[in-house]
Amino acid sequence: MDIERSSFDLTAVRQAYAQGTGVRALITEARRRAAADRLNAYIHVLSEAELEPYVARLERLASDSLPLYGLPFAIKDNIDLAGVPTTAACPQFAYTPGSHAHVVEKLIAAGAVPIGKTNLDQFATGLNGTRSPYGPGRNPFNPDYISGGSSSGSAIAVATGSVGFALGTDTAGSGRVPAAFNKLIGLKPTCGLLSARGVVPACRSLDTVSIFALTAEDAADVYAAALGFDAADAYARRAEPHGPDFAAGGAFRVGVPRADQLEFFGDEAARQCFAAALELFASLGATLQEVDFAPFLETARTLYGGPWVAERHAAIGEFFDQSEAAVIAPVREIVAGARRFSATDAMRAMYALKAARRRCDSAWENLDCMLAPTAGSIYTIAELEADPIRLNSALGYYTNFMNLLDYCAVALPAGTARAGLPWGVTIFAPAHRDLPLLRLAARAQQALGGTMGATAHRLPAARPLRSAVASGCVLVAVCGAHMEGLPLNVQLRERAARLVARTRSAPEYRFYALPGGPPERPGMVRVDSGGACVELEIWEMPAAAFGSFVAAIPAPLAIGKVKLADGAEVPGFVCESWIASYASDITHFGGWRAYQAARG
């Protein structure tokens, strides 16, 4: 394989190693590409001597022995890499850590190789990538335009193909806006699932390490390797089952902002891109439902009121109070602004957030995820420097609320907007639904096709996502009053179950209308002969709710294994055989809906 022309997506890297490429040759090429950067992506590219321990270790191992073997990656320079200065884009603040950040350590253990530390908006304060003494992050599609921030360099490094993935951080959109402007996947995980130990915080209570990758599948592999509870991180949390996998196929429900609440800041091409994205998701099986976006926008506004601005001062307060002049504008003014807030202001902002969160929670009752633009439009570097506060705020219109509300999100490419530059959308959902979002992003990315980042490399064929956590769900086959739209369906809905398939049983059942009610109920009895197929719905339910569901089922009904027409068996409603002497045989109707329709 010609390494000089190869992509560094994980599929291509694995193929290169399988065909005999040595890890030293591949990492040398990655370093060459990084060193050739002219877009201000990197603050520090590791020297050959600095890379040697990582390469030498992998040369002693088989290429299929580690999930990320020999995959080059970059690290936002507010995340520690042992022996390399961490600057947070402020040279006077720099320190050299003696150990890796926890997430970096896990990725290196999985076989990834660090190539360099990347540029950022100073102290991760900004969404545009222009606020750095190392120069503005320039968009690889047109260097007059911004790359997005604060994780600007990380996104540029992946988009230009010098690494296979990169770490960023995300407080208010820094792991998503750069993904949109660089035609990448940007995973903003559930806060606390990736350790923040060894990360210079922006707002410690909201920050998460983020992942930029060329494909959703690659992002899932990196996420799986980085995931793990870190007891030394006070904000860490354990991964929980993600619940119903709405992205596995079939119908799913997607909320979108009300049309009058969409904002594209005059970018009509972006508006057209979003309309096309809605059509794309509908083609994947989405039922689109307009949502009142006002509570989410209200939540976003609280980000700049009191406690979270004060957190930026808390993160670097000792340095800032002694060396305020070392911090560039407008970062200096933002951090200094924390001094005007009192503890009373902080509490009021927290109360406002609680109230807004309650309003936002109500929107999720009948939704699996939401879809919105990642950013309304893109700007030139000159435009941002001339109007830094207003335009930066515009970039956060669709992103600022998500960490405040404890959502996970995936940004993905969705066409071309202003000046022929990439544009993207974000899918988001409540905490712990990271994997279903990545699976849905993979389906959408495959449907969109095209090239990856700013490279000429075509998107590789789809491959299964590596599952970092179990779904924690069970399937339940229902045949009567629990079916969609019928009286007992609420018992499934209130347990966050979702319909995944409509099918039929194997031809091995007799079907009965049971005495009693309301509501009327049917019973399926498995027989040795004379059976028929029965109409079924398959629902997916969180395992934690399954016990209470089963406990509410009255005799002679029970939950047992129901054989489906394709031979598979799933838990579902069965009935004790003695009921045949007391119930009406309705097998010839083929299902409960047909029986009820015949009765009028």
What does the block give as tokens for 553?
């089922």
In this prediction, residue 189 has a pLDDT band, given cuts at 50, 70 and 90, of very high
pLDDT, tens only, 158-173: 999 999 999 999 999 9
Active-site annotation holds for 6? no
**Which of 63, 132, 147, 150 is the catalytic position?**
150
Count Cβ neighbours within 10 Å for each residue of 105-124 and write b for 16 or more, e otherwise. bbbbebbbbbbbbbbbbbbb
In this prediction, residue 469 has a pLDDT band, given cuts at 50, 70 and 90, of confident
Tell me the percentage of the chain whose pLDDT exceeds 90: 85
| Residue 307 predicted with pLDDT over 90 | no
What was the pLDDT predicted at 305? 65
The helix-helix angle for 216-226 and 434-448 (nearest 10°) equals: 160
Following CA atoms 211, 18, 440, 226 in sequence, which dihedral angle do they give, to the nearest 10 degrees? -30
Q: Across residues 37-53, what is the average pLDDT?
A: 98
Q: Across residues 462-477, what is the average pLDDT?
A: 86
pLDDT, tens only, 1-38: 688 999 999 999 999 999 999 999 999 999 999 999 99
Distances (CA, A) of 372 to 170, 283, 558: 17, 17, 43
Say how far apart CA 285 and CA 277 lie, in whole Å: 13
SS3 category, 580: helix
Closest Cα to residue 211, out of 117, 108, 116, 103? 103
Say how far apart CA 186 and CA 177 lie, in whole Å: 8
Q: Across residues 251-265, what is the average pLDDT?
A: 96
Q: Across residues 239-258, what is the average pLDDT?
A: 89
Q: What is the DSSP letter of 141?
A: T
Q: Across residues 309-338, what is the average pLDDT?
A: 93
Q: Give me the DSSP letters along 269-330.
A: HHHHHHHHHHHHHHHTTEEEEEE--HHHHHHHHHTTSSHHHHHHHHHHHHHHHH-GGGSPTT
Phi, psi (5° rounding) for residue 545? -95, -10
225 burial (CB, 10 Å; 0-12 / 13-18 / 19+) is buried
| Residue 497 predicted with pLDDT over 70 | yes
In this structure, of 188-197, 237-246, 280-289, 408-417, the range with the lowest mean pLDDT score is 237-246
Say how far apart CA 479 and CA 140 lie, in whole Å: 55
Following CA atoms 560, 564, 568, 570 in sequence, which dihedral angle do they give, to the nearest 10 degrees? -30
Domains of the chain (ranges; CATH) run 3-246+371-448 (3.90.1300.10), 473-599 (3.10.490.10)
Closest Cα to residue 309, out of 203, 174, 150? 203
Closest Cα to residue 160, out of 456, 416, 455, 457? 455
Say how far apart CA 308 and CA 204 lie, in whole Å: 9
Say how far apart CA 401 and CA 430 lie, in whole Å: 12
Phi, psi (5° rounding) for residue 425? -120, 165
**Which of 7, 63, 154, 174 is the catalytic position?**
174
Is-contact 463 217, C-beta < 8 A?
yes
What does the block give as tokens for 237?
């949390």
In this structure, of 246-250, 253-257, 286-290, 372-376, the range with the lowest mean pLDDT score is 246-250
Q: Across residues 132-153, what is the average pLDDT?
A: 98
What does the block give as tokens for 19?
């065909």
**Which of 76, 106, 183, 563 is the catalytic position?**
76
Identify which has the larger pLDDT, 383 or 467: 383
Active-site annotation holds for 471? no
Residue 175 identity = G
* Listed ranges 44-53, 312-321, 346-355, 553-562; the one with the highest mean pLDDT: 44-53
pLDDT, tens only, 516-559: 878 889 999 999 999 999 999 999 888 889 999 999 999 999 99
Following CA atoms 397, 398, 404, 407 in sequence, which dihedral angle do they give, to the nearest 10 degrees? 180
Identify which has the larger pLDDT, 468 or 276: 276
Q: Across residues 581-596, what is the average pLDDT?
A: 95
Q: How high does pLDDT run on average in the chain?
A: 95
What was the pLDDT predicted at 365? 84
| Residue 500 predicted with pLDDT over 90 | no
Is-contact 309 205, C-beta < 8 A?
no
Is-contact 429 436, C-beta < 8 A?
yes
pLDDT, tens only, 52-71: 999 999 999 999 999 999 99
Q: Across residues 463-480, what is the average pLDDT?
A: 87
Following CA atoms 53, 57, 59, 65 in sequence, which dihedral angle do they give, to the nearest 10 degrees? -150
Phi, psi (5° rounding) for residue 296? -70, -40
Pairing type for strands 498-504 and 509-513 reads unpaired
Is-contact 162 113, C-beta < 8 A?
no
Residue carrying structure tokens 């960023």: 168
In this prediction, residue 320 has a pLDDT band, given cuts at 50, 70 and 90, of very high
Closest Cα to residue 427, out of 236, 229, 219? 219
| Residue 83 predicted with pLDDT over 70 | yes
Say how far apart CA 119 and CA 134 lie, in whole Å: 7
276-280: long-range contacts, CB 8 A cutoff, minimum separation 24: 276/414, 276/415, 277/371, 277/414, 277/415, 277/425, 278/371, 280/414, 280/444, 280/447, 280/448
Is-contact 254 286, C-beta < 8 A?
yes
In this prediction, residue 306 has a pLDDT band, given cuts at 50, 70 and 90, of low
What was the pLDDT predicted at 499? 87
Active-site annotation holds for 393? no
What was the pLDDT predicted at 242? 87
Say how far apart CA 429 and CA 217 lie, in whole Å: 19
Q: Across residues 379-388, what is the average pLDDT?
A: 97
